[in-house]
């Protein structure tokens, strides 16, 4: 079929099938222009959108709205993107062009219409794929397809979190069944002592990067195993190890079925570490070499990234569970039970020690890292016993600080400003400081107005959400005041994160009277928008959430304190683009990196954060605000009290006066100056292109060279 004969709706289908559209607002606008109501109704899902309108209807609407040239242009851009051979990765990728990076992760956050992520780890994985795609790094993602995804959050009248699960419908998604080399739907199998686990495989296209997702919901499995991959982080340890078998071993077997030879195995967090064992087994088999040699060889091209300094965040499995699930596998590797368990033990001879996935990954990867400078230090301390002869500073865990995929988080209005001032192609050069230096040339008024319009958009979004929330809860006070909730002229703080105790999401409410006087100040008030989910089994997190929610329900707080339900990609996008200040109050040093604060920078929002994670290396005294000076106290309660004191002081003495120091024209030039300085000093460093380039230069390329030298 000649190019010109492809009908418009088929072009839209092609655009909908590649998640490239998620970071191209001009494609999203095609759908919102065609039918804004339908777009909202289908939760921003273009496949579901196109399933609901007939091709003729699309042709007709497109004619009426004169969309032809825009659709054709977007379609051509996508094709050019997919076929380009002058990318950074193509030029610098060397061996990777024959042997790609295979990136394993238990979750991928790409867009709200694909709920296969729960939070930070997933969003990071999604951002990694998107930047790898933009840079043209040969990379394949492997994950799990959660048909019920992560939960939707609802609060009840008491402010208690309730969860509901909505099924992901394959026909309403861009998922395509992956075929084997003979064209049959691919199924991978994993043997255990209690029977086989089977999984079929779906493919998503994230720009140039394919993402393979394993799905256990097939007839070959028992009823119970069909549910294995239905939810993220649900169930007990037994379910967990079975999920991880599917992800790691099943994932590695996809590569074999497709005859893909990995140049690098990148394990994003320990969940997928069993992939290493399968790779060792394959090499032992293929090259007829013993376990220890194959183990060494695989470690040369394994990269492992650890993400949490919280002990409970590392999976540990009992010897029984291990033997049931990996006993057959262990025999294939020719290892005794003790030698096998030793791979996941800090003290190899301690029979009481469970098998830890992080330990397996650390022992089997030559290149390992934490996700910020401070997290690198914390990780070296945490795992020092694995290298008993070494000083802590010599423990071979480095760091690569996380970054965010800029075009996914930058507001389109802000992007227009960037294009005008930094040049049309600024995004292809975003890792260079001089590109961001030109932010200085943006007019203060223009930047402020753009920010204010984004703030208004956020406020309207929040009011819409609150209206629905309040109708359900019967909060008539809120409904009556809905148009007065949140004032665009008031200093607006955003505070959204997983509600886990160590993140201390309620720190700002800890001195109620002091907070009350801040929100009710007649001249210089503040207002705050909260969001975040607690893990379904974390009652402590739910109580924390409840305190915040109940506070927001109180009549005298309604206009100034709101809690938006169901924090997800969509809520996050609105928040990071529209607030004035982004508040983060984790207990140091438990925030590994934190990436939401990086999203806000792009949009001219200022961080107000404890010096932990990325902020510890980013803050320069003028590009945002710090809470405290990085001191720690052994007693968490004392640290909580001190950090709260610092937070209030910083707000009262620095943040609020600066924001309200209005010059003629009603804007604070000092504030805008800080916005610009934040964008200039942080934008080029904390983006995912820089992160993926770091991984490529420091880890992927050396690892791929080591592989080719050995084989
Ligand atoms: C970015 C993001 C996160 C991670 O942000 P943190 O700063 O690590 O809390 C979590 N959830 C969603 C929906 C996000 O967009």
Going by alpha carbons, the residue nearest to atom 4 of ligand 1 is 120
Tell me the CA–centroid distance for residue 120 and ligand 1, in Å: 4
pLDDT for res 4: 54
Q: How many Cβ atoms are within 10 Å of 300's Cβ, its own excluded?
A: 19
Q: 150 CB under 6 A from ligand 1?
A: no
Q: 123 CB under 6 A from ligand 1?
A: yes
Reading the block at residue 362, the tokens are 């650390």
Residue 14 has pLDDT above 80, yes or no: yes
Q: 567 CB under 6 A from ligand 1?
A: yes
Domain 406-686 bears CATH identifier 3.40.50.2000: yes
Strand 526-531's sheet: what is its strand order? 561-564, 526-531, 491-496, 581-584, 606-610, 625-627
Residue 211 has pLDDT above 60, yes or no: yes
Mean pLDDT of 203-227: 97
Residue 573 CA: nearest ligand 1 atom is: 15
18-60 tens-digit pLDDT? 999 999 999 999 999 999 999 999 999 999 999 999 999 999 9
Long-range contacts of 539-542 (CB under 8 A, 24+ apart): 540/501, 541/498, 541/499, 541/500, 541/501, 542/160, 542/161, 542/499
Tell me the CA–centroid distance for residue 401 and ligand 1, in Å: 15
Residue 597 CA: nearest ligand 1 atom is: 7
Residue 181 has pLDDT above 90, yes or no: no
Tell me the CA–centroid distance for residue 627 and ligand 1, in Å: 20
pLDDT for res 623: 98
Tell me the CA–centroid distance for residue 572 and ligand 1, in Å: 7
pLDDT for res 664: 79
Q: 119 CB under 6 A from ligand 1?
A: yes
Residue 708 has pLDDT above 80, yes or no: no
Residue 5 has pLDDT above 60, yes or no: no
371-397 tens-digit pLDDT? 999 999 999 999 999 999 999 999 999
Tell me the CA–centroid distance for residue 349 and ligand 1, in Å: 39
Q: Helix/strand/coil (H, E, C) string of 264-322?
A: EEEEECHHHCHHHHHHHHHHHHHHCCCHHHHHHHHHHCEEEECCCCCHHHCCEECHHHH
Q: Tokens 């929040």 identify what position?
A: 462
Q: Which residues of 602-619 are buried (b: 16+ CB within 10 A; e: fewer)?
A: bbbbbbbbbbbbbbbbbb
Going by alpha carbons, the residue nearest to atom 1 of ligand 1 is 596
Going by alpha carbons, the residue nearest to atom 9 of ligand 1 is 497
543-578 tens-digit pLDDT? 999 999 999 999 999 999 999 999 999 999 999 999
Residue 593 CA: nearest ligand 1 atom is: 8
Q: 586 CB under 6 A from ligand 1?
A: no
Which of 304, 257, 254 lies closest to 276 in space, CA to CA?
304
Helix axes 55-64, 25-34, angle to 10 degrees: 100
- Report the share of the chain in percent with pLDDT over 90: 93
Q: What 3-state class would DSSP assign to 125?
A: helix
Mean pLDDT of 436-450: 96
pLDDT-derived band at 1 (thresholds 50, 70, 90) equals very low
- Report the share of the chain in percent with pLDDT over 70: 99
pLDDT for res 710: 61
Residue 599 CA: nearest ligand 1 atom is: 1
pLDDT for res 672: 98
Mean pLDDT of 248-267: 97
pLDDT for res 234: 79
Mean pLDDT of 613-640: 94
Q: Which residues make up the CATH 3.40.50.2000 domain(s) of the chain?
A: 88-152+166-402+693-709, 406-686
User: Among 23, 108, 109, which is best to mutate for testing ligand 1, by the most ligand atoms less than 8 A from CB?
Assistant: 109
Distance of CA 442 to the CA centre of its chain: 30
Reading the block at residue 352, the tokens are 């009481």
Q: What is the pTM of this model?
A: 0.97
* Architecture in CATH of 88-152+166-402+693-709: 3-Layer(aba) Sandwich (3.40)
Cα atoms in the Cβ-side hemisphere of radius 13 Å centred on 505: 27
472-486 tens-digit pLDDT? 999 999 999 999 999
- Separation CA 260–CA 299 (nearest Å): 18
Q: 120 CB under 6 A from ligand 1?
A: yes
Q: 89 CB under 6 A from ligand 1?
A: no
pLDDT-derived band at 92 (thresholds 50, 70, 90) equals very high
User: How far is the CA of 687 from the CAs of 60, 118, 439, 683, in angstroms?
Assistant: 41, 21, 16, 7
What is the residue-averaged pLDDT of the chain? Answer: 95
Distance of CA 33 to the CA centre of its chain: 29
Tell me the CA–centroid distance for residue 505 and ligand 1, in Å: 13
pLDDT for res 632: 86
Are the beta carbons of 149 and 135 closer than 8 angstroms?
Answer: no
């Amino acid at each position: 079929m000649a190019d010109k004969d492809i009908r418009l709706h088929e072009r839209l289908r092609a655009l909908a099938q590649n998640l490239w559209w998620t970071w191209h607002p001009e494609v999203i606008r095609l759908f919102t222009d065609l039918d804004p109501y339908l777009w909202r109704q289908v939760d921003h899902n273009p496949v579901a959108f196109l399933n609901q309108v007939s091709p003729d209807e699309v042709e007709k609407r497109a004619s009426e709205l004169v969309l032809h040239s825009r659709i054709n242009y977007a379609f051509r851009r996508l094709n050019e993107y997919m076929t380009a051979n002058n990318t950074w990765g193509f030029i610098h990728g060397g061996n990777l062009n024959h042997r790609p990076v295979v990136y394993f992760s238990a979750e991928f956050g790409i867009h709200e219409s694909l709920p296969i992520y729960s939070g930070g780890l997933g969003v990071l994985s999604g951002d990694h794929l998107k930047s790898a795609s933009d840079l043209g790094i040969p990379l394949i993602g492997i994950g799990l397809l959660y048909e019920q995804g992560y939960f939707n959050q609802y609060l009840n009248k008491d402010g208690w979190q309730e969860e509901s699960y909505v099924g992901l419908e394959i026909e309403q998604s861009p998922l395509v069944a992956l075929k084997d080399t003979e064209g049959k739907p691919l199924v991978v199998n994993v043997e255990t002592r209690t029977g086989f686990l089977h999984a079929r495989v779906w493919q998503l296209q994230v720009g140039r990067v394919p993402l393979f997702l394993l799905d256990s919901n097939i007839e070959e499995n028992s009823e119970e195993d069909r549910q294995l991959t239905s939810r993220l982080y649900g169930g007990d340890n037994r379910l967990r190890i079975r999920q991880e078998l599917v992800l790691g071993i099943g994932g590695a077997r996809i590569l074999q079925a497709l005859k893909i030879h990995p140049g690098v195995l990148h394990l994003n967090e320990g969940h997928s570490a069993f992939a290493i064992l399968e790779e060792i087994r394959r090499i032992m088999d293929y090259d007829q070499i013993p376990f220890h040699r194959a183990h060494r060889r695989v470690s040369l091209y394994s990269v492992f990234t650890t993400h949490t300094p919280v002990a409970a965040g590392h999976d540990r499995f009992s010897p029984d569970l291990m033997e049931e699930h990996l006993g057959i596998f262990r025999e294939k590797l020719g290892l005794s039970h003790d030698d096998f368990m030793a791979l996941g033990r800090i003290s190899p001879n301690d029979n009481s020690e469970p098998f830890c996935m992080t330990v397996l990954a650390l022992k089997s990867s030559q290149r390992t890292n934490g996700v910020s400078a401070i997290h690198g230090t914390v990780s070296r301390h945490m795992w020092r016993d694995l290298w008993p002869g070494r000083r802590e500073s010599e423990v071979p865990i480095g760091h690569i600080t996380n970054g965010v995929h800029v075009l996914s988080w930058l507001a389109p209005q802000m992007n227009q400003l960037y294009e005008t001032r930094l040049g049309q192609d600024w995004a292809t050069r975003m890792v260079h400081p001089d590109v961001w230096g030109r932010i200085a040339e943006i007019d203060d008024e223009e930047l402020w107005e753009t920010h204010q319009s984004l703030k208004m958009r956020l406020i309207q979004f929040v009011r819409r959400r609150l209206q629905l929330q309040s109708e359900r809860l019967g909060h008539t006070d809120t409904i009556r005041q809905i148009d007065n909730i949140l004032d665009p002229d008031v200093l607006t703080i955003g505070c959204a994160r997983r509600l886990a105790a160590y993140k201390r999401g309620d720190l700002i409410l800890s001195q109620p009277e002091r907070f009350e006087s801040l929100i009710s100040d007649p001249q210089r008030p503040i207002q705050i928008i909260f969001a975040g989910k607690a893990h379904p089994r974390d009652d402590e997190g739910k109580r924390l959430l409840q305190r915040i929610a109940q506070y927001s329900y109180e009549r005298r707080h309604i206009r100034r304190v709101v809690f938006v339900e169901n924090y997800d990609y969509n809520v996050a996008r609105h928040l990071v683009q529209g607030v004035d200040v982004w508040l983060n109050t984790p207990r140091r040093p438990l925030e590994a990196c934190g990436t939401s604060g990086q999203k806000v920078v792009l949009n001219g929002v200022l961080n107000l954060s404890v010096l932990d994670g990325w902020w510890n290396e980013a803050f320069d005294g003028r590009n945002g605000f710090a809470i405290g000076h990085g001191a720690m106290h052994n007693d968490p309660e004392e640290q909580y009290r001190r950090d709260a004191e610092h937070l209030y002081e910083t707000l009262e003495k620095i943040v609020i006066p600066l924001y309200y120091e209005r010059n003629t024209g009603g804007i604070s030039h000092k504030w805008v100056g800080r916005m610009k300085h934040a964008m200039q000093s942080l934008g080029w460093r904390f983006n995912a292109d820089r992160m993926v380039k770091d991984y490529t230069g420091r880890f992927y390329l050396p690892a791929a060279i080591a592989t080719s030298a050995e084989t």
